[in-house]
Amino acid sequence: QLQLQESGPGLVKPSETLSLTCSVSGGSISSSSYRWGWFRQSPGKGLEWIGNIHYSGSIYYNLSLEGRVTISLDTSKNQFSLKLSSVTAADTAVYYCARRKEVAGGWFEPWGQGTLVTVAS
């Protein structure tokens, strides 16, 4: 059974870079059938897609994040990562990673449990 687990600092200072890792167990991130994505949910708000990556190197980002996002894969560790630079309080959110199956339009499932990142000095 595939499982995803986010990890990283729970507190980041303004203007610094938020870095999170999603560790994948029970399956390989090198599979051509899937993309691997990041989402977030700010307190009291809805869900937002951040971006996703395929092991081939194909990456899509949400341009609303204005070029601050980098997603990468580490196939040797079976994990993928998110970096968000120049963070502000508006980037405080629960961050989730998830796997996307691309059949019949696709879907994201499963998801990690989520990790709260607070941006504060």
Partner 1 sequence: DIQLTQSPSFLSASVGDRVTITCRASQGISSHLAWYQEKPGKAPKLLIYAASTLQSGVPSRFSGSGSGTEFTLTISSLQPEDFATYYCLQLYTYPLTFGGGTKVEIK
Q: How far is the CB of 101 from partner 1 (least distance, A)?
A: 8
Cα-based angle 72, 78, 81 (whole degrees, multiple of 5): 30
22 Cβ partners below 8 Å, 6+ apart?
Answer: 4, 5, 6, 7, 36, 38, 79, 80, 81, 82, 97, 112
Q: How far is the CB of 121 from partner 1 (least distance, A)?
A: 26
Can residue 109 be called a binding residue for partner 1 (CB under 8 A)? yes
Can residue 38 be called a binding residue for partner 1 (CB under 8 A)? no
| Interacting residue with partner 1 among 48, 55, 83, 85 (CB under 8 A) | 48
Stretch that binds partner 1, among 7-15, 17-25, 85-93, 109-117 (CB under 8 A): 109-117
**Is residue 87 a contact partner of residue 23, using CB atoms and an 8 Å limit?**
no
Where does this chain bind partner 1 (CB under 8 A)? Answer: 46-49, 52, 60, 62-64, 96, 98, 100, 104-114
